[in-house]
Every structure is written in structure tokens, then in C-alpha cells.
Amino acid sequence: MSHPDDATLGILGRQALRRPLTPAEFGLARALEDVFATGQHEFPAVVAYLEQQRIPRPSGGSGPWTVEVLDAELRRINASLDEAYLSRDSGPAGR
């Protein structure tokens, strides 16, 4: 699958982000794009793909990907991005 180039990501890919994705978060995002491009959208198929590709957990946790682990990872990332977005006006970038 083709991915946006770095310039596009810099301009469009992070418009609403208050912090950059970590390398592990970015790796998971790319893996999700790849699996979704195959037509798979159900968590069990996504989890199987993540396991097959040996995608590391962004949290640094170990063990196999499961539906519960994927849900927890996505919730943790979302909460972190939400927190960063809500604090957008408190730092230098918000001025």
C-alpha cells in the first residue's frame, strides 16, 4: 500500500494533533492502514494481522495482540491525544 509522503503528513496528517505520534504509534497507524486496505475491518482480523506482522504495542507492553489489547491500546492513544489537544492553549504552540 502506498502511504502519504512526509511532506503531506507534515501539512495534513497532524492538523489536529497537539503532539506528534510516537514511532510505535505511527507504526501501529501504518499497520492499521495496511490491514484496512485489504478490506479487513473486524478486530479479530486486525489482531491477526498485527500478530503476523509483529507490530509492537505502542504502550511497550508485551504478549500477543488480542481484541482486548487492541482496544486498550487505541483507548490509551486516544486519551493521550485528547489530553494533548485539550492543553493546546497552555503551551508555546498554543500562543
pLDDT at 49 over 70: yes
Output 23 or 10, whichever has higher pLDDT.
Answer: 23
Angle value at C-alpha 49, between 48 and 55, nearest 5 degrees: 110
Model confidence pLDDT, tens digit, residues 12-40: 454 556 778 899 999 999 999 999 999 99
Distance, in Å, from the CA atom of 21 to the CA atom of 90, rounded to the nearest integer, reads 19
At 58-92, the pLDDT tens digits run 999 999 999 999 999 999 998 888 888 787 665 55
| Domain residue extents for the chain | 19-90
Kindly state the average pLDDT of the residues 34-58. 96
Q: Dihedral (C-alpha) 42, 48, 51, 57: value to the nearest 10 degrees?
A: 20
pLDDT value of position 1: 53
Of 14, 33, 32, 35, the closest CA to residue 73 belongs to 32
Q: Which pLDDT score is estimated for 35?
A: 96
